[in-house]
Amino acid sequence: MQFLDRAKITAKAGRGGNGVTAFRREKFVPRGGPSGGDGGDGGSVFMEATNQLNTLLQFRLNPEFRAGNGSHGEGSNRHGQNGEDVMIPVPVGTLVINHETQETLYDLVEPGQRVVIARGGRGGRGNARFATSINRAPRYHQDGEPGDVISLQLELRLIADVGLVGFPNAGKSTLLSRISAARPKIADYPFTTLEPNLGVVSWDDEKTFVVADIPGLIEGAHEGAGLGLDFLRHIERTSILAHVIDISSVSGRDAVEDFLIIENELNQYKAELGEKPRVIVASKMDALDDESRLDRLRSFCQERGLELIEVSSVTGKGISTLKRNLGKRIENAAALNRSNNTVIPESADPAGAVSR
């Protein structure tokens, strides 16, 4: 399935049905009075987050959603039928933005989270609603109201705990396939990965976390070089960044320079990414035959206070250490987040009653 993480859609809610002007005309009811019923309400357009989808591709061929109109009221005080609602399923992690104002309306991050994006118009009132003691036979009714019409921009931001970043061919996809059951495309040429891949990593028996493999960055990505920065939105929600660096002698690249280039591109995209905790992963250790390359990276990480983990996806060296390190960091981040969100009463009496 092709991956699509941006889409534009239009949602049109249904129009409310008109009320009606009618009077009772029955044989034994000489002054039956007004009996015009109300119009039905227009249908609304809802959006719901689901784990069953992982792309916005479905909106490429079907970008418009229209709810049903309400039926008009009828005589004998009969209410018009309400319009049919429309439900739009989207992947968890979808950001809903007003296309005209660029205002963020909703951030759907929980499965089953449901919001109204276009509300149906209210049905008009029939003339029976307007009868009073001084106006017993009103000859007017209300028309139904139009439903909302809105253009929306949808952006998918994957829900992952760890984001893998680095140059093309740094070994990110191979590493993902080694630490999880994900099977991304792996080949010996740049930009093999053209879309983000997710993998679930198991560690410490029953514990798991999710890793996102982001397509490779190169110098000048913030200006559109390579694949640009289009996919970096998918690591904005992550707790940790794992910066994968090719340490092998075959690559001929300078590991420290590669690190600085990618860090600059991340900061050019959004300064907040520079504040995320990160782990430096020296990959392809099995292809290292010049220890000075690794020594320079070790010294650099030590000076910067960065943790370096040496791995080989071929031999398995350091894989369990990496999984345990990332798992512990995610646990600590979650515990810190829970403590920050704990509400502590201002004061309480010894019996536990909070004073107001």
Q: Is the pLDDT of residue 9 over 50?
A: yes
Q: Which pLDDT belongs to residue 345? A: 44
The fold adopted by the segment(s) 162-339 is Rossmann fold (3.40.50)
User: pLDDT tens digits for 236-273?
Assistant: 888 899 999 988 888 778 889 989 988 888 888 888 88
pTM over 0.85: no
Judge contact between 13 and 42, C-beta under 8 A: yes
Alpha-carbon distance of 326 to 319, in angstroms, equals 11
In 187-230, DSSP assigns E strands to 197-203, 207-213
Confidence of residue 3 (pLDDT cuts 50, 70, 90): low
Residue found by looking up tokens 């029955």 in the block: 26
Digit-coded pLDDT (tens) for 313-332: 889 999 999 999 999 988 88
Q: Is pLDDT of 42 > 90? A: yes
User: What whole-number distance in Å separates Cα of residue 63 and Cα of residue 61?
Assistant: 6
Residue for token digits 């009132």?
125
Per-residue model confidence (pLDDT) at position 199:
83
DSSP per residue over 163-199, as a string? EEE-STTSSHHHHHHHHSS------SSTT---S-EEE
Domain 1-156 matching CATH 3.40.1030.10: the answer reads no
Residue 13 has a CB neighbour count (10 Å cut-off) of 29
Domain ranges across the chain = 1-156, 162-339
Helix axes 319-340, 172-179, angle to 10 degrees: 80
